[in-house]
Structure 1
Amino acid sequence: MRLGITLFSTDRTITTHELAVAAEERGFASLYVPEHTHIPAARKTPPPTGADVLPEEYARIPDPFVALAAAAVLTDRIRLGTGVALPAQRDPIVTAKAVATLDRIAAGRFVLGVGYGWNAEEAAGHGVPWSRRRAVAREHVLAMRELWTREEAEFKGEFVEFEPSWSWPKPAGRIPVLLGGAPGPTLFAHIAEFGDGWMPIGGAGIREALPALREACEAAGREMVPVIPFGTLPSAEKLDYYASLGVEEIVLRVPAAGREEVLPVLDGYARSYGAG
């Protein structure tokens, strides 16, 4: 089983490029970092953590594409991804170029993990209708895929429209798109349509959700996609359980802290679970 790493990176934690080098040295397969463009100070959306007050770290996240580009220059093997980016809040033409550029720097090692978002005020700052954010995210990813794969790309949708256009560079390879979120018909339909895997946060409820995901993939005429539990705090029993479900990669969580706290956790994971 492959083990990846995720960190809730901020301007106060170990940097993404330092963590990428350390994770690669210890044999981890992947590294994922999150995205929030900004956090409005006045908010009605409750924190996803269940706490009364949203932790300050949500407002301190670096741009993941810039951070991962630095990591790509300093590493050779580890896959580098977003966990998760918020495509509904990004211009798809600009983001497609950023992703393609990053993937070329990384020699085909970039993975685009995406989500729909949970913060209505953040989405409003980007002009995203909250009730339509899933549809906006879908179109943005589909439009980016056209720009990545076609010499002369065009797109006409409800939220995105551009005439036949040139956009280079192209990615070094096919960009894997992994969708994060709780199980449900919309998420699974989108995974079956344009995704390359499901990243359930924490991994709870996977066994019960697998039949619905498999059914959605079959309805789209494709094979079952990988399931990659994300942000897991590991134990031997938990890894064995995931392996029994056919899971081949798990992304483990390390604390949002500095080198002195994070590196011993990496070493412990490597010793206990065989990443190295």
Structure 2
Amino acid sequence: MRLGVTMFATDRAMAVPELAVEAERRGFASLYLPEHTHIPVSRATPPPTGDPVLPEEYARTLDPLVALAAAASVTERIVLGTGVSLIAEREPIVTAKAVATIDHLSGGRVALGVGFGWNREEAADHGVRWETRRDRAREHVLAMRALWEREEASYEGDFVRLTPSWAWPKPARRIPVLLGGAAGPTLFRHIAEYGDGWLPIGGAGVREALPALRDACARAGRDPVPIIPFGTDPTPGKLDYYASLGIDEVVLRVPSGPREAVLPVLDTYAATYVSAFEQLRPTAPDAGLG
């Protein structure tokens, strides 16, 4: 099993390039960063954490693609992912170019975690009607996939219209698109259609959800996709449990804070867990997805 890390990267937290170097040095396989372009002051949408006040880190997040590009320039092996990108809020042609560029420059180390969001006001500021966000995300991913993989790409949908176009660089490998969200038939249908894996936040309920996900993939004529429990607070028993389910990667949560707050956690995780599992595959293109 490989272990990765995720952190709310903010202007007050440990610098992402430094975090990536320290995580890679300790044998972690991946680094994932979340995304919020902004947080509207309105609190009509309650915090997803259940807290009465939304933690400040949500409003201070760095752009994950810019931060991951910086991390790519100082690392060699670690997989660099979004966890998760709010892809319905992003312009897909520009985003496809940015993701392909990072993957090209990093030698094939990008994973695109995609989510559908929780903040209605944030989506509205991007012109996204809440009830369309899943369909928009789907079309954005499909249009990006066309740009990444076809010599002459085009796409025609309800939200994206791409006339036959050229776009380089192409990614160094197939970009894995990992869908985040709670277990359910809608999410699993999307994963089976256009996803390459599932990022369940925290990982609770994975065993119970496995049959439904496998069934959705089978109905789509696909083999089962990887499951990567995300933002997990680890214990030895929990990681052993995931390994018993055939899970190849778990992404651990580290605090959003300065170097002196983050490094002791990385050290503890490395000393307690990393040595217990095979971490990095021999070559970067195979890392991060089992």
Task: Give yes or no for TM over 0.5.
Answer: yes
1:193 aligns with 2:190: no
Q: Name the count of aligned residue pairs.
A: 276
- The whole-number CA distance in structure 2 between the counterparts of 1:58 and 1:262 is 18
The question of whether the paired residues in 1 share the 8 Å contact of 2:35 and 2:84 is answered with: yes
- The whole-number CA distance in structure 2 between the counterparts of 1:163 and 1:116 is 26
- The whole-number CA distance in structure 1 between the counterparts of 2:157 and 2:25 is 44
| CA distances 1:47-76 after superposition (whole Å, capped 9, x unpaired) | 000011111111100100000000000000
Partner in structure 2 of residue 146 of structure 1 = 146
After TM superposition, give the deviation of residue 115 of structure 1 in Å. 0.3
The question of whether the paired residues in 1 share the 8 Å contact of 2:85 and 2:115 is answered with: yes
After TM superposition, give the deviation of residue 92 of structure 1 in Å. 0.4
Partner in structure 2 of residue 207 of structure 1 = 207
The question of whether the paired residues in 1 share the 8 Å contact of 2:200 and 2:228 is answered with: yes
The question of whether the paired residues in 1 share the 8 Å contact of 2:28 and 2:274 is answered with: no
The residue type equivalent to 2:230 in the other structure is F
Partner in structure 1 of residue 27 of structure 2 = 27
Partner in structure 1 of residue 117 of structure 2 = 117
- The whole-number CA distance in structure 1 between the counterparts of 2:33 and 2:75 is 16
- The whole-number CA distance in structure 1 between the counterparts of 2:262 and 2:232 is 15
- The whole-number CA distance in structure 1 between the counterparts of 2:37 and 2:274 is 35
Partner in structure 1 of residue 130 of structure 2 = 130
Secondary structure (helix, strand or coil) at the match of 1:241 reads helix
- The whole-number CA distance in structure 2 between the counterparts of 1:244 and 1:28 is 20
The question of whether the paired residues in 1 share the 8 Å contact of 2:154 and 2:162 is answered with: yes
After TM superposition, give the deviation of residue 274 of structure 1 in Å. 2.4
- The whole-number CA distance in structure 2 between the counterparts of 1:167 and 1:220 is 29
Runs of 4+ aligned structure 1 residues displaced above 2 Å come to: none
After TM superposition, give the deviation of residue 43 of structure 1 in Å. 3.0
- The whole-number CA distance in structure 2 between the counterparts of 1:163 and 1:266 is 47
Partner in structure 2 of residue 103 of structure 1 = 103
Q: Which runs of 5+ in 2 are unaligned?
A: 280-290
Partner in structure 2 of residue 252 of structure 1 = 252
After TM superposition, give the deviation of residue 12 of structure 1 in Å. 0.5
Secondary structure (helix, strand or coil) at the match of 1:256 reads coil
| CA distances 1:117-144 after superposition (whole Å, capped 9, x unpaired) | 0000000011111011001100000000
- The whole-number CA distance in structure 1 between the counterparts of 2:86 and 2:103 is 18
- The whole-number CA distance in structure 2 between the counterparts of 1:70 and 1:262 is 19
Secondary structure (helix, strand or coil) at the match of 2:164 reads strand
Partner in structure 1 of residue 288 of structure 2 = none
Q: Which runs of 5+ in 1 are unaligned?
A: none
TM-score, length-scaled by structure 2: 0.94
- The whole-number CA distance in structure 2 between the counterparts of 1:9 and 1:72 is 15
The question of whether the paired residues in 1 share the 8 Å contact of 2:143 and 2:162 is answered with: no
CA RMSD of superposed structures (Å): 0.9
- The whole-number CA distance in structure 2 between the counterparts of 1:169 and 1:113 is 21
1:41 aligns with 2:41: yes
After TM superposition, give the deviation of residue 249 of structure 1 in Å. 0.5
Partner in structure 2 of residue 263 of structure 1 = 263
TM-score, length-scaled by structure 1: 0.98
- The whole-number CA distance in structure 2 between the counterparts of 1:213 and 1:3 is 22
| CA distances 1:162-188 after superposition (whole Å, capped 9, x unpaired) | 210111111111100001110111110
- The whole-number CA distance in structure 2 between the counterparts of 1:94 and 1:126 is 15
- The whole-number CA distance in structure 1 between the counterparts of 2:42 and 2:179 is 29
- The whole-number CA distance in structure 2 between the counterparts of 1:181 and 1:162 is 28
The residue type equivalent to 1:71 in the other structure is A
Partner in structure 2 of residue 240 of structure 1 = 240
Secondary structure (helix, strand or coil) at the match of 1:224 reads coil
Partner in structure 1 of residue 169 of structure 2 = 169
- Identity value in percent: 71
Secondary structure (helix, strand or coil) at the match of 1:85 reads strand
